[in-house]
Structure 1
Amino acid sequence: MNQSNEDHQVPRDPYVQRPVREPMFNLPPVVVGLSLIFIGIHLVRVYVLSSDAELQTLLLFAFWPVRYVSDFSAQYSWPGESFSAVWSFLTYGFLHGSAQHIGFNILWMAVFGSAVARRFGAMRFLLLSAICAIAGAGAHLATNWGQSIPVIGASAAVSGQMAASLRFIFEAGGPMSAFRRHDSVAYSVPARPLMEALSDSRVLTFMLVWFGLNALFGIWSAPIAGEGANIAWQAHVGGFIAGLILFPLLDPIKARRT
């Protein structure tokens, strides 16, 4: 007499916890939330604000290197100008020049920022992003002192997320390693010290390509990716370096000892 397949199944221990597999496109809520904020702000600027209100928004929230020249405040002033000189180090990251500009930043944040968000949690992820945005603005200010062209976009913050992800995504069992895991544990693999991580050919190749592309942006100084403005590549570099340095300070996972 034939028995059904169920008769041959090995009983499962109800106390053994199976690893939770995370869907590939199940983005962390903080990444989804930031993306929606970027899109919402841009839609309001494009479809709701008048031309005068849009200009005032840029004056108050974009990052203007010329604002820090000593005689600037004596020649130009508008309501909130002194405060915006402080908060614009961060707020410029919420403004974008076009839908394509937002799309590129959201795409890279979804790929690399999501890995960091799953590892860090929402608050550490937001702190990392904010500091990288500030570092990007500082790097741009140092190399473009007195420039009257405003800087907008989350690219510096996303560059920092990308750099932070390089510290662990290629580790054994990590989300982009040769022998990767496919559950949440992949985002909790211990990371190596920075100098040891830089000896990994995959990390080094990624960084060389990334810095090479940003060097080309600086040499050509041409609008790309629908931004309608020159690439603020110095801000990218500042954010990227900040992400590399900040990673061990914010990483909740104990570092791997060698």
Structure 2
Amino acid sequence: MDASPDLPRQGRVPVFNLPGIVTISIAVLAAIHLVRTVLPDGIDLSVLLNLAFIPARWTASFDPSTAAAIIGAAGEGAGGPELASARQEFARYLVTDPSAMPWTGASYALLHGSWMHLIFNVVWLAAFGAPVARRYGALRYAILALAGIVAGAVLHLLIDPYSLMPLVGASAGISALMAAAARFVFQPPPPFEAGAPWQLPPRPPLQTIPELMRNRTAVLFLGIWFVTNLLFGVLALPLGGGEGPIAWDAHLGGFAAGFFLLPLMERGSLRNRP
């Protein structure tokens, strides 16, 4: 008679130790960028203009009276007269028949400025998207990322409403996932005595803000994240291989969305119960 315990069936070992939704996210971003690299320049420019988030286009759409101010601001940027003239021509193109293109408040996250920009984002997505997806599942992961993307675009618009620089990249959504993960990954698991070898410990609860501020590891991570973003934003330096300076304000908007929205995701989460 076989007295061995009835162990749970073991699934196949995945090729990549990432939740499926994170793997799909990475694959979609990589596929889109790969397709863009083989498109003719004219078509790729059309993709950029129709999917990237351009604050000045939204500003002119909401308030057409700002058209003159947008064109004037375009001529005041850095660079010589030829570059200033080109920016003003682009501004005139945007404000002649302005349309906010509301989908660009989310679709900009599908585009990246270079392979290095994409790789940089993918590394952070794998690191911080994975724990969020494992804890909350694909739907809540997607909601948090999308909320961060939209919040990043909104804050970027509020801070730099006349900007003609197309905003691209998934960094705001990844920042939301970073903030969400920071609420629970930087703490030891709760005390647990397993009744059977295959039983897993319960998931640690979310830390409150006071608890998080007493967690030295979490405070160090948050401090480095904020200082890095503000430093590169103030110095207008590229980060992660992008072709332009990072949109620190979009990152901040995404981070705030993930940090404060996560407790709402926690409520009623069956995945979080031991």
Question: Is residue 132 of structure 1 aligned with residue 171 of structure 2?
Answer: no
Encode CA deviations 1:113-134: one digit per residue, 9 max, x unaligned: 1000111111110111001000
CA contact (8 A) 2:22 2:130 kept: yes
Give how far 1:195 is off.
Answer: 2.9
Q: Aligned equivalents of 1:21 and 1:200: distance in 2?
A: 37
Question: Is residue 217 of structure 1 aligned with residue 232 of structure 2?
Answer: yes
**1:110 maps to what in 2?**
126
Q: Aligned equivalents of 2:157 and 2:199: distance in 1?
A: 39
Encode CA deviations 1:160-212: one digit per residue, 9 max, x unaligned: 101100111123228xxxxxxxx995783222223322321111111011101
Normalising by structure 2, we get a TM-score of 0.76
Question: Is residue 66 of structure 1 aligned with residue 56 of structure 2?
Answer: yes
SS in 2 for 1:96: coil
**1:82 maps to what in 2?**
99
**1:247 maps to what in 2?**
262
Using a 3 Å threshold, how does the CA distance of structure 1 residues 187 and 87 change in structure 2: closer, same or farther?
farther
Q: How does 1:1-258 map to 2 (within 5 A)?
A: 12-14=4-6, 25-47=16-38, 49-67=39-57, 68-69=59-60, 70-71=63-64, 76=93, 82=99, 84=101, 86-173=102-189, 185=200, 188-251=203-266, 252=269
Q: Aligned equivalents of 1:201 and 1:24: distance in 2?
A: 34
- Match for 1:65: what amino acid? P
Q: Aligned equivalents of 1:216 and 1:99: distance in 2?
A: 23
Cα RMSD over matched residues? 3.0
Encode CA deviations 1:19-45: one digit per residue, 9 max, x unaligned: 999879511111111111111111111
Using a 3 Å threshold, how does the CA distance of structure 1 residues 172 and 63 change in structure 2: closer, same or farther?
same
CA contact (8 A) 1:128 1:161 kept: yes
- Match for 1:207: what amino acid? L
Give how far 1:60 is off.
Answer: 0.9
Q: Aligned equivalents of 1:76 and 1:27: distance in 2?
A: 44
Normalising by structure 1, we get a TM-score of 0.81
**1:7 maps to what in 2?**
none
Give unmatched runs, 5+ long, in structure 2. 69-91, 191-197
Encode CA deviations 1:44-95: one digit per residue, 9 max, x unaligned: 1111x222211111111101011123237895469x97362x1111000000
The farther-off stretch of 133-142 and 24-33 is: 24-33
CA contact (8 A) 2:151 2:257 kept: yes
CA contact (8 A) 2:203 2:272 kept: no
CA contact (8 A) 2:148 2:176 kept: yes
Give unmatched runs, 5+ long, in structure 1. 1-10, 175-182
Q: Aligned equivalents of 1:60 and 1:184: distance in 2?
A: 50
Q: Aligned equivalents of 2:271 and 2:214: distance in 1?
A: 20
